[in-house]
Amino acid sequence: MKYSKKERQLLLQQTITDNPFITDEQLASKFHVSVQTIRLDRMELSIPELRERIKDVAANNFESEVKSLPIDEVVGDIIDIELDERALSIFDVGEEHVFQRNRIARGHHLFAQANSLAVAVIDDDLALTAHSDIYFLKPVKAGQRVISKAVVTSNDKERKRTFVTVTSTVDGNTVFTGEFEMYRTKGSEHK
């Protein structure tokens, strides 16, 4: 369907309000226009680019919830969190995160996203990684978006340990998994 510029911009505003994590490429496809047209529309409407929208959502919604580390120390952007239960973050792999020779993401960036999410999900002032088992399953390349989901699986109150499973995906395909044993200063009520 072809929209007038005014109609498209109204729909664009509503679409971004409903889903601030939608990319310019997805918007271009949705409205059957070029990515450049979407960028120009966003500029005219004073809608920031995706990266800034993600940071705004994270800062406005989760900064006061995360206790175990400052929100700006989380690698990736938290887009959902329920302390001692689950958390979700996204990480856009840029040129600065990859080996120049093959454009594959350096593993420490994927690990850092998963590890910092495992720390952030802990409802405590201090959470440290005591042990982890990690598996890199598929390479991630520049330009891809990694979505990591952390799930608290169990607690050992006496040892002050919380166990967190993190799964990272790109376009629905699992690229990384990790089992994290987290030390915390107090026990958790999580079963």
Q: Does domain 53-184 have CATH number 3.10.129.10?
A: yes
Domain boundaries, the chain: 5-47, 53-184
Residue 53: the pLDDT is: 74
Count CA within 13 A, CB hemisphere, residue 107.
8
- For residues 59-81, one letter each, b for 16 or more C-beta atoms within 10 angstroms of the residue's C-beta and e for the rest, the string is eeebeeebebeebeebbbbbbeb
Cα separation of 114 and 74, whole Å?
Answer: 9
Q: Which CATH number fits domain 5-47: 1.10.10.10, 3.40.50.300, 3.90.1150.10, 3.30.365.10?
A: 1.10.10.10
What sign for the dihedral angle of Cα 47, 29, 138, 132? Answer: positive
pLDDT tens digit sequence for 7-46: 999 999 999 888 777 888 889 999 999 999 999 999 998 8
Residue 97: the pLDDT is: 96
Residue 59: the pLDDT is: 59
pLDDT-derived band at 112 (thresholds 50, 70, 90) equals very high
Residue 58: the pLDDT is: 59
Residue 113 has pLDDT above 60, yes or no: yes
Cα separation of 57 and 77, whole Å?
Answer: 9
Would you say the pTM of this structure is higher than 0.85?
Answer: no
Strand segments, DSSP code E, in 8-116 are 77-82, 86-92
The mean pLDDT value of the chain amounts to: 88
Residue 63: the pLDDT is: 53
Residue 71 has pLDDT above 80, yes or no: no
Q: ∠ CA(77), CA(82), CA(83), 5° rounding?
A: 100
